[in-house]
Amino acid sequence: MQKNFTQKYKEFLININNLENSYADIINLVLKNSVYVYINQDDIALANKTIKINYKNLQNSKILLEDSYSDIKDNINYLNGCIDKDLQNIELFLRVNASIKNSLLFLSRHIEDSKILQKNDQDELLKARIILKRFNDTKRLQDLAYLNDKDYLLYTNSTDKDVINYIKAFNLHSTFLIKNYPIFINITKKIIQNKAIHQRIHIIKKEFTEVSLHDFKALDKFATILFTLFFFSFLTIIILLIKYQKENMKLQYSYTYDQLTNLYNRRKFELDIENNNKFDKPFLIIININDFRYINDIYGNDTGNILLKDFSKFIGEKIKIFNEKSIVYRLGGDEFGIIFENIIKDRVVDITNKLEQIITSNNFTINSVNIDLNVNISINNVKPILENADLALKQAKRSSISNICVFDEKQHLKQNVQENMQMVKTIKDALAEDRIIPFFQPIVNLQTSKIEKYEALVRLRLKNGEILPPFKFLEIAQKSSQYHNITKVMIEKTIQTARKYPQYRFSINFSMQDILDKKITTTLFELLDENKDTDAKIDIELLESEQLDDMQIVKLFIDKVHTYGSYILVDDFGTGYSNFSYFSELAIDIVKIDGSIVKEIVTSKRKFHMLKSIKEFANGMDMKTVSEFVESRDIALKLKSIGATYAQGYYFSQPLEQPLDDANVTI
Amino acid sequence: MLKLIILITIIITINAKEPISPIPLGIDYDEEKALLGKRLFFDVILSKDKSVSCLSCHNVYDGGADSRDVSLGFENREGNIQSPTVLNARYNFAQFWNGRAENLKEQADGPLNNPNEHNMNPTLVEKRVNNSILYKKDFKKVFHINYIKYEYILDAIVEFEKALTTPNSRFDRYLRSEIKLNKDEKKGYKLFKDYGCITCHNGVNVGGNSFQKIGTFIAYNANVKYPDRSQVTHNEMDKNVFKVPTLRNITKTAPYFHDASAKDLKTALHVMAEHNLGIIMKDEDIEHIIKFLESLNGELPTILDED
């Protein structure tokens, strides 16, 4: 009898352990199915069957026929409902998972195949990448919060059928994903976080141990032996548990570590950041490799991958030099984050500067190809730490002055970003609908009381007719791909106007950066070449700026402009970065005296003397002057009395949509 | 681009194994029992008016399915769904289009008792088979029984069906590195993966291991009533959900889909691409995929040569 009991007892324990293990199996497979793209689903179909068989075996365990085990039997029957529900959830999971995988696959492929868009719309392509990234992040992190941005559709003004179809296909799939993600995430969470079955099994085991222990005691003679047996069974459970723990650890690894570089991945980073106690006063720096995309395009993905590995290793080694507590993460394809703890800002900035130098001066050699890297780095310790660091990184990318940007709350970067995005769209629309227009402000010859020239000033007319001045949109346009188009429109329209009003000269504004931009200067000269009848009437106004790296290019530009018979004007002289040394090097024809001086010549002696000396300097250099911001008759008369050549300002006229037919003015 | 790199890395490093596995060689089945089952499978006495056998709707010599849109059963009554293939059915995770049978035995029970199909009942089946001296002799030999119970009849048929596998297709031989695929087949297989067909059509049967909705992307004839998964689960979400069919010997099992709406593979692929993948597939790609699908045609089961 004792032997019989031991056998039944063992049978039950084996059955319930089998069930528990097969359940762990299927959860493991669900995870695999959600992570891997291509997977053989035979395994999960088999696991499904195994659970059912194991449950049936448990239900049929001989020991349950005994009266004392009837409670346990009830519990087991109850378990049936939980299992059925879970298996149904898994069936649904597999269905949604398949569609979502396919759409994600489609979008990745679609973006890769974006030749159509690349030509036409770099911004939308970027957006497409961001949208896909968001979808991927959401799936990886199983958190719908990553989809909070409602902007997941692409737009185009293009009439090109290919572009329209391309965008349509993208939107079709992103709409599909938006609709199905909530179902997918919820069902996945429901399956993975469902503890009901484990808990129920745990309860059954506990009750079983209690009841059977009681039975063991009754079997006094064999109690010790049987208890030993029980102990061994318990041991097997532990061994099995350890086995599955290992499996899960492996999976956990892929959730915590980046497969390529073996650094911690973004998921881990986010977990660490969420865990408030994890870091003591953390500083985050993000390092982004410039133009990594091109490295992939030029050298191939294999090389790109090796580079990322080498780079990770390099950073890991170099960061040790500074002897600060730090952790390195791979946050995205070409983005690396380093968290420093307990450190002052100056020290982080110092480390970052040195790190940038170390990186840029290092020669990465991959398959005997030398690759030099440039990086942008942002520094931040203001919460939300990643988002703000991201904003600062964008700032660093935009800036032509420094590759490093420290996040500063005062910059209101976040708000800027949204407004800027809106503005980019406004600019694009305006370009498409021909609402970028020049206004013309007359420049009067004070000695003859005649308008001789007009300055063309860019304006954007909104759909409602409102006119936007350049400071509202030009800076943003400069950072987007639209700037070049605006410049082009301005030149074209000014040329047209010059043809209509042959009695006047016209000047167009160019910044120093424009001159360094080959695309813009090429456009200018092409347009001048195409319009030989007006080319000598178009002058160029140079806006001074802080930095003028390549004097040689500016010189060449000015020489070329002169060959058309055009003049060079220098704007805003007498303020900001005015630099007399320009004049020794550059053949400038006209100097525009800054309004901050002109405005006050009647009221301030000092300003008046400044103006006079600029004028004399100009005379000596054989240059003419234009006084800007002439806002009253007094100023105009005073200028005339000292023999100043030109004046411009509201006293004569504000900028006009069309030049005046009559050149005469009264002073 | 970078996501794709990560994707590729994952695919290459972790999942280097192909998601399709070859049909096992040298499958084990009881030959005597299977041959007995074969006779039953071919025998019209298993239908009430002795007009149809299992073979009538599952032509094992050519694809194992029915080339008619719906099969005709007892007194030429029409079935309610396109007959799926019996070849390699042992590798399906569930039987019937909606998976209502968990195994081959449960499946075989279905058509026999369906009034529109064989229109029999277990007692009548037993009576008919027990009337045959030949069957009695053979059942005694195989099962060591004097009276042939319904269970044993099903058992024998199932054993025959287990022998109905089509190994050694070109693709299986490619998976076992015995041959190389030609350029078209290779391209077709790549497209099959790239487009995501493989997400549902994988495993040993290139399908048959999961349920999926027809028209995940764009609704497919949602109003027409077919016995779908919802009839098993009584869940609204399972409307128009069916077992993903196997693609083995697919070129021989036209017409396609549960409703036989696609008369050829080209149409079927167009419909699948549009409704389940949300893409318009180019004709050129379809031709390549069909080349790949052709490489899934295997050898006829050896049991068909035996008596």
Cβ pair B9:A305 closer than 8 A: yes
From chain A, pick out residues whose CB is under 8 angstroms from the CB of B213.
95
What DSSP designation does B304 have? G
Residue B103 φ/ψ, nearest 5 degrees:
-145, 180
Q: A24 falls in which pLDDT band (50, 70, 90)?
A: confident
Flag whether pLDDT at B15 surpasses 50.
Answer: no
Query: Furthest-apart CA pair in chain B: how many Å?
Result: 72
User: Could you give the CA distance from residue A415 to residue A256 in angstroms, rounded to a whole number?
Assistant: 32
A434 vs chain B: nearest CA distance in angstroms?
35
**Could you tell me the sign of the dihedral formed by the alpha carbons of A485, A491, A497, A500, in that order?**
negative
Q: B294 falls in which pLDDT band (50, 70, 90)?
A: very high
DSSP per position, A484-514: HHHHHHHHHHHHHHHHH-TTSEEEEEEEHHH
pLDDT at B150 (0 to 100): 95
Cβ pair B212:A95 closer than 8 A: yes
| B117 is a catalytic site residue | yes
Cβ pair A301:B3 closer than 8 A: no
pLDDT at B34 (0 to 100): 96
Q: Which of A102, A179, A295 to mutate to test the interface with B (most CBs of B within 10 A)?
A: A102
pLDDT in tens, A536-551: 899 999 887 655 667 7
pLDDT in tens, A332-350: 888 999 999 888 888 889 9
User: 3-state DSSP: chain B helix, strand, coil percent, rounded to 5?
Assistant: 45, 5, 50
Q: Is residue B154 part of a domain?
A: yes
Q: Is residue B176 part of a domain?
A: yes
Average pLDDT over residues B96-124: 94
Q: Do B82 and B149 sit in the same domain of this protein?
A: yes
Nearest CB partner across the interface for B194, out of A103, A109, A169: A109
Cβ pair A38:B11 closer than 8 A: yes
Q: B10 falls in which pLDDT band (50, 70, 90)?
A: very low
Helices (H), A469-602: 474-479, 483-500, 512-516, 518-530, 551-563, 580-585, 595-598
Q: CB under 8 Å, gap of 24 or more: what pairs does A519-525 form? A: A519/A484, A520/A484, A520/A487, A521/A557, A523/A484, A523/A487, A523/A488, A523/A491, A524/A487, A524/A491, A525/A560
User: Could you give the CA distance from residue A279 to residue A271 in angstroms, rounded to a whole number?
Assistant: 11
Q: Is residue B3 part of a domain?
A: no
Q: Is residue B4 part of a domain?
A: no
Domain A2-250 has CATH 1.25.40: no
Q: B6 falls in which pLDDT band (50, 70, 90)?
A: low
Query: The CATH number of the domain where B235 resides is what?
Result: 1.10.760.10
Q: Is residue B307 part of a domain?
A: no
B200 vs chain A: nearest CA distance in angstroms?
7
pLDDT in tens, A128-151: 888 888 888 888 888 887 776 678
Nearest CB partner across the interface for A42, out of B1, B204, B216: B204
Percent of chain B with pLDDT over 90: 83
pLDDT in tens, A415-451: 666 677 788 888 999 999 999 999 999 999 999 999 9
Q: B17 falls in which pLDDT band (50, 70, 90)?
A: confident
Q: B293 falls in which pLDDT band (50, 70, 90)?
A: very high
Show the tokens assigned to B233: 């689960």
Rg of chain A taking only CA atoms, in angstroms: 37
User: Could you give the CA distance from residue B23 to residue B33 in angstroms, rounded to a whole number?
Assistant: 22
Beta-sheet strands, E only, within A333-374:
335-340, 363-366, 369-372
Class of domain A422-647: alpha beta
Q: Do B50 and B64 sit in the same domain of this protein?
A: yes
A73 vs chain B: nearest CA distance in angstroms?
25
**Could you tell me the sign of the dihedral formed by the alpha carbons of A132, A260, B18, B85, in that order?**
negative
pLDDT at A165 (0 to 100): 87
Give the residue with greater pLDDT, B261 vs A221. Answer: B261
Average pLDDT over residues A608-616: 89
Closest C-alpha among A592, A540, A546 to residue A568: A540
Cβ pair B6:A333 closer than 8 A: yes
Cβ pair A38:B19 closer than 8 A: yes
Query: What is the C-alpha end-to-end distance of chain B, expressed in Å?
Result: 59
Average pLDDT over residues A282-298: 85
User: Could you give the CA distance from residue B265 to residue A375 in angstroms, rounded to a whole number?
Assistant: 52
Instruction: Find the angle CA(B145)-CA(B150)-CA(B152) to the nearest 5 degrees.
Output: 50
Closest C-alpha among B24, B77, B49 to residue B298: B24
Q: Do B93 and B200 sit in the same domain of this protein?
A: no
With contact defined as beta carbons under 8 Å apart, do B57 and B84 qualify?
no
Q: Which of B163, B188, B222 is the last residue of a domain?
A: B163
With contact defined as beta carbons under 8 Å apart, do A189 and A182 qualify?
no
Show the tokens assigned to A534: 């007006």
What DSSP designation does B215 have? T
pLDDT at A481 (0 to 100): 78
pLDDT at A270 (0 to 100): 83
Give chain A's mean pLDDT: 86
The residue of chain A with its CA nearest to that of B238 is A92
Q: A217 falls in which pLDDT band (50, 70, 90)?
A: low
Burial class (CB in 10 A: 0-12, 13-18, 19+), B274: middle
From chain B, pick out residues whose CB is under 8 angstroms from the CB of A99.
216-217, 276
CATH number listed for the domain at residues A266-411? 3.30.70.270
Cβ atoms within 10 A of the Cβ of B289, count? 25
Beta-sheet strands, E only, within A190-303:
283-289
Q: Is residue B97 part of a domain?
A: yes
Flag whether pLDDT at A368 surpasses 50.
Answer: yes
User: Could you give the CA distance from residue B98 to residue A25 in angstroms, rounded to a whole number?
Assistant: 25
Average pLDDT over residues A266-275: 82
Cβ pair B213:A95 closer than 8 A: yes
User: Could you give the CA distance from residue B90 to residue A42 in angstroms, rounded to a whole number?
Assistant: 12
Q: Do B52 and B146 sit in the same domain of this protein?
A: yes
B303 vs chain A: nearest CA distance in angstroms?
26
Flag whether pLDDT at B118 surpasses 90.
Answer: yes
From chain B, pick out residues whose CB is under 8 angstroms from the CB of A169.
278-279
Q: HEC profile for A114-180? A: CHHHHHHCHHHHHHHHHHHHHHHHHHHHCCHHHHCCCCCCCCCCCCCHHHHHHHHHHHHHHHHHHHH
| Inter-axis angle of helices A223-256 and A2-35, nearest 10 | 0
User: Could you give the CA distance from residue A536 to residue B133 in angstroms, rounded to a whole number?
Assistant: 114
User: Could you give the CA distance from residue A266 to residue A258 in angstroms, rounded to a whole number?
Assistant: 8
pLDDT at B14 (0 to 100): 43
**In 3-state terms, what secondary structure has residue B77?**
coil
Q: A568 falls in which pLDDT band (50, 70, 90)?
A: very high
How many domains are there within chain B?
2
Q: Which of B279, B280, B281 to mutate to test the interface with A (most CBs of A within 10 A)?
A: B279
Pairing between strand A590-593 and A624-627? parallel
pLDDT in tens, B131-182: 999 999 999 999 999 999 999 999 999 999 999 999 999 999 999 999 999 9
Q: Do B178 and B286 sit in the same domain of this protein?
A: yes
Cβ pair A42:B203 closer than 8 A: yes
Q: Which of B111, B131, B163 is the last residue of a domain?
A: B163
From chain A, pick out residues whose CB is under 8 angstroms from the CB of B198.
38
Q: Is residue B17 part of a domain?
A: yes
Show the tokens assigned to B160: 């025959």
Q: How far is CA A174 from the centre of its chain?
A: 18
With contact defined as beta carbons under 8 Å apart, do A366 and A314 qualify?
no
The residue of chain B with its CA nearest to that of A261 is B6
User: Could you give the CA distance from residue B71 to residue B80 in angstroms, rounded to a whole number?
Assistant: 8
User: Could you give the CA distance from residue A652 to residue A629 in angstroms, rounded to a whole number?
Assistant: 10
Q: Is residue B306 part of a domain?
A: no
The domain segmentation of chain A, as residue ranges, is 2-250, 266-411, 422-647
The residue of chain B with its CA nearest to that of A52 is B102
Half-sphere exposure at residue A105, Cβ-oriented, CA atoms within 13 angstroms: 24
Closest C-alpha among A116, A191, A182, A115 to residue A146: A182
The residue of chain A with its CA nearest to that of B198 is A38
Q: A493 falls in which pLDDT band (50, 70, 90)?
A: very high
pLDDT in tens, B72-89: 988 888 889 999 999 999
From chain A, pick out residues whose CB is under 8 angstroms from the CB of B19.
38-40
User: Could you give the CA distance from residue A129 to residue A488 in angstroms, rounded to a whole number?
Assistant: 29
Give the residue with greater pLDDT, B282 vs A411. Answer: B282
Cβ atoms within 10 A of the Cβ of A78, count? 12
Flag whether pLDDT at A256 surpasses 60.
Answer: yes
From chain B, pick out residues whose CB is under 8 angstroms from the CB of A263.
none
Q: Which of B3, B217, B229, B282 to mutate to test the interface with A (most CBs of A within 10 A)?
A: B3
pLDDT in tens, A407-425: 887 665 556 666 777 888 8
Percent of chain A with pLDDT over 70: 93
Closest C-alpha among B180, B159, B181, B205 to residue B303: B159
ipTM of the complex: 0.87
Q: What contacts A612, CB < 8 A, 6 or more positions away?
A: A642
Q: Which one of the listed residues B32, B78, B117, B185 is annotated catalytic?
A: B117
With contact defined as beta carbons under 8 Å apart, do B84 and B97 qualify?
yes
pLDDT at A455 (0 to 100): 95
The residue of chain B with its CA nearest to that of A128 is B1
Percent of chain A with pLDDT over 90: 31
Average pLDDT over residues A194-209: 86
Q: Which of B135, B163, B191 is the last residue of a domain?
A: B163
B175 vs chain A: nearest CA distance in angstroms?
14
Nearest CB partner across the interface for A37, out of B2, B11, B17: B11
From chain B, pick out residues whose CB is under 8 angstroms from the CB of A259.
6, 9-10, 13-14
Flag whether pLDDT at A525 surpasses 90.
Answer: yes
Residue B217: give the domain boundaries.
Answer: 10-23+167-294
Flag whether pLDDT at B13 surpasses 50.
Answer: no
User: Could you give the CA distance from residue A389 to residue A368 in angstroms, rounded to a whole number?
Assistant: 35
Half-sphere exposure at residue A69, Cβ-oriented, CA atoms within 13 angstroms: 24
A331 vs chain B: nearest CA distance in angstroms?
12
Average pLDDT over residues A356-360: 89
Q: Residue B256: beta bridge partners?
A: B262
From chain B, pick out residues whose CB is under 8 angstroms from the CB of A291.
none
Q: Do B47 and B106 sit in the same domain of this protein?
A: yes
DSSP per position, B228-290: -THHHH--GGGTTEEEPPP-TTGGGS-SBSTT--BSSHHHHHHHHIIIII--PPPHHHHHHHH
